[in-house]
């Protein structure tokens, strides 16, 4: 059977930055026009021995940029990432021609605060939002972000996993509408870390209070690790956030074993 590849571009790696042994940032030429909105994901894949393996990856870059950018974590026994991690500049892989996803900025509810909460690679769609907003702000384009404020919390075990910390801190120092707080959950491993400590969901109450974020004025966006999403959703709902004010992008499902079950 001849497979149709007309849904795919042959994408090419332009540049690769290894953030750690199991985190890398890829700049990619998708191989053709790929329209997307900040917050959407692309579907990347490889074909080996006639078997195609595809997964979703949030797009880090802004629609204003030419190259697509991805922040990828290696899952050691995963179907795709061990292969993606072997790719180097010039290598090609599959990229679906259509970007998808509804993890978009909420500009219709009337809530003007946006609380962006992520674990490690879950920062990807938030970088895309902020790069896009920053560019619009600099160009004086549109009503955004003038009346809107963005508050970003990112959690990781160690500070070397943040990936975009420098960029986000620089944007936060320039843009009065953006705040960024990274937090590490294993501070004992790095005594030089002077920032926030603890899991990102453990900081939610502290920062919603400090920033004056309430259910009636704030949309929350949760992205990355499914357990963080579940915990954060619980905390927000107990603080009276309604379902439609909490947007979620879980990167995978927690298996029975990971959830603490025994086989
Ligand atoms: C909308 C969307 C956007 C995504 N964006 C990103 C992104 O920007 N960057 C990124 O790295 N990933 C992202 N993912 C996850 C990505 O699609 C893959 O699931 C992930 O890269 C693992 O692929 P794999 O084929 O190597 O492992 P799989 O074969 O899919 O998974 C093997 C096992 O590992 C578990 N698993 C999957 N991912 C993880 C993980 N990160 N940590 C621990 N266990 C895991 C699975 O549940 C499964 O049990 C996104 C997922 C979705 C749904």
Residue 117 forms part of a structural domain: yes
Q: Are residues 119 and 245 in the same domain?
A: yes
Residue 3 forms part of a structural domain: no
Residue 34 forms part of a structural domain: yes
Residue 203's alpha-carbon distances to 102, 154, 190, 207, 228, in angstroms, are 26, 10, 19, 6, 12
What stretches of the chain adopt beta strand conformation (E)? 8-20, 23-29, 41-48, 51-58, 68-73, 92-96, 113-119, 149-156, 178-184, 196-197, 218-224, 246-250
Write the pLDDT tens digit of every residue in 93-117. Answer: 999 999 999 999 999 999 999 999 9
Q: Are residues 85 and 128 in the same domain?
A: no
Task: Supply the mean pLDDT for the chain.
Answer: 94
**pLDDT confidence of residue 2:** 37
Q: Are residues 25 and 150 in the same domain?
A: no
> With 80 as the cut, is the pLDDT of residue 258 above it?
no
Ligand 1 center–CA 234 separation, angstroms:
23
Check which CATH number belongs to the domain holding 244 and give it. Answer: 3.40.50.80
Ligand 1 center–CA 194 separation, angstroms:
30
Q: Are residues 48 and 174 in the same domain?
A: no
Write the pLDDT tens digit of every residue in 24-47. Answer: 999 999 999 999 999 999 999 999
Residue nearest atom 32 in ligand 1 by C-alpha distance = 78
Q: Are residues 210 and 118 in the same domain?
A: yes
Residue nearest atom 38 in ligand 1 by C-alpha distance = 252
**pLDDT confidence of residue 67:** 98
pLDDT-above-90 percentage for the chain: 89
Lining residues, ligand 1, CB within 6 Å: 41, 55-58, 70-73, 75, 78-81, 101, 121, 124, 249, 251-253, 255
Torsions phi, psi of 117, nearest 5? -120, 125
**pLDDT confidence of residue 179:** 98
Residue 14 forms part of a structural domain: yes
Counting the structural domains of the chain, the total is: 2
Q: Are residues 208 and 242 in the same domain?
A: yes
Residue 263 forms part of a structural domain: no
Q: Are residues 217 and 242 in the same domain?
A: yes
Residue nearest atom 52 in ligand 1 by C-alpha distance = 251
- Determine the structural domain holding residue 78 and report its residue range: 8-96
> With 80 as the cut, is the pLDDT of residue 221 above it?
yes
Residue 256 forms part of a structural domain: no
Q: Are residues 128 and 210 in the same domain?
A: yes
How far is the C-alpha of 18 from the C-alpha of 29, rounded, in Å? Answer: 18
Residue 255 forms part of a structural domain: no
> With 60 as the cut, is the pLDDT of residue 4 above it?
no
DSSP reduced 3-state for 130: helix
Residue nearest atom 6 in ligand 1 by C-alpha distance = 57
Mode of pairing for the β-strands spanning 218-224 and 113-119: parallel
Domain ends where: 96, 124, 149?
Answer: 96
Residue 175 forms part of a structural domain: yes
Q: Place 1 in a pLDDT band, splitting at 50, 70 and 90.
A: very low
**pLDDT confidence of residue 143:** 53
The mean pLDDT value for 218-235 works out to 98
Q: Are residues 124 and 245 in the same domain?
A: yes
């Amino acid at each position: 059977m001849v497979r149709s590849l007309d849904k795919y571009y042959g994408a090419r790696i332009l540049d690769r930055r290894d953030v750690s042994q199991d985190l890398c940032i890829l700049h990619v030429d998708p191989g053709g026009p790929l329209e997307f909105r900040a917050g959407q994901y692309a579907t990347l894949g490889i074909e080996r021995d006639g078997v195609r393996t595809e997964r979703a990856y949030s797009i880090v870059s802004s629609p204003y940029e030419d190259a697509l950018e991805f922040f990828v974590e290696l899952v050691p026994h995963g179907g795709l990432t061990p292969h993606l991690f072997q790719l180097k500049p010039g290598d090609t892989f599959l990229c679906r021609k259509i970007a998808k996803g509804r993890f978009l900025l909420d500009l219709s509810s009337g809530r003007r605060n946006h609380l962006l909460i992520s674990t490690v690679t879950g920062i990807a769609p938030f970088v895309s939002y902020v790069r896009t907003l920053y560019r619009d702000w600099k160009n004086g384009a549109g009503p955004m972000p003038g009346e809107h404020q963005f508050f970003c919390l990112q959690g990781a075990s160690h500070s070397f996993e943040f990936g975009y910390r420098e960029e986000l801190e620089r944007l936060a120092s320039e843009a009065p509408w953006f705040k960024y707080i990274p937090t590490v959950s294993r501070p004992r491993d790095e005594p030089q870390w002077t920032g926030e400590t603890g899991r990102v969901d453990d900081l939610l109450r502290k920062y919603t209070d400090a920033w004056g974020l309430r259910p009636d004025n704030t949309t929350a966006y949760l992205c990355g690790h499914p357990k963080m999403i579940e915990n954060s959703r619980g905390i927000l709902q107990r603080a009276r956030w309604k379902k439609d004010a909490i947007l979620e992008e879980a990167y995978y499902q927690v298996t029975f074993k990971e959830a603490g079950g025994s086989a």
